[in-house]
Amino acid sequence: MPARSLHLGVDVWLRAGTPVLAPLDAVVHSVQDNDNFGDYGPTVILQHRLEDATFYTLYGHLSRRETLLLRPGMTVAKGETFTEVGPAPENGDWPPHLHFQVIADMLGLAGDFPGVALPEEQEKWAALCPDPNLILQSQWL
């Protein structure tokens, strides 16, 4: 099987316990513990609405304790802490970091979404997962 080496989000290397803040007003779309070695571990997907556009942001490698407090349909205000970066091994057994990804269409999925893809599928995934730096950079302007 070919290697999936196209990363669809961005990894922000942070200490375990670092608060994760919502970049925009949101509703919790889904929460799931993707508890497999090398997976996201605790994962939160937020749904956002700007003008007429709905899109989603995915947060992986989170704290199990904080993430268990979230439920689909809960609202999260821009700038509000809604979870924390998780420690290994509960975060998928990775060094502590946050996987942040923007998703245009969830394709009917909940609680999980591919974070890596095959390089030859770049065009397909670029349409589904816009550059997350567009949101990250706007938070510091």
Other CB atoms within 10 Å distance of the CB of residue 128: 18
141 pLDDT band, cuts 50/70/90, is: very low
Residue range 53-88, pLDDT digits in tens? 999 999 999 999 989 999 999 999 999 999 999 999
Residue range 91-108, pLDDT digits in tens? 999 999 999 999 999 999
d(CA 91, CA 68): 13
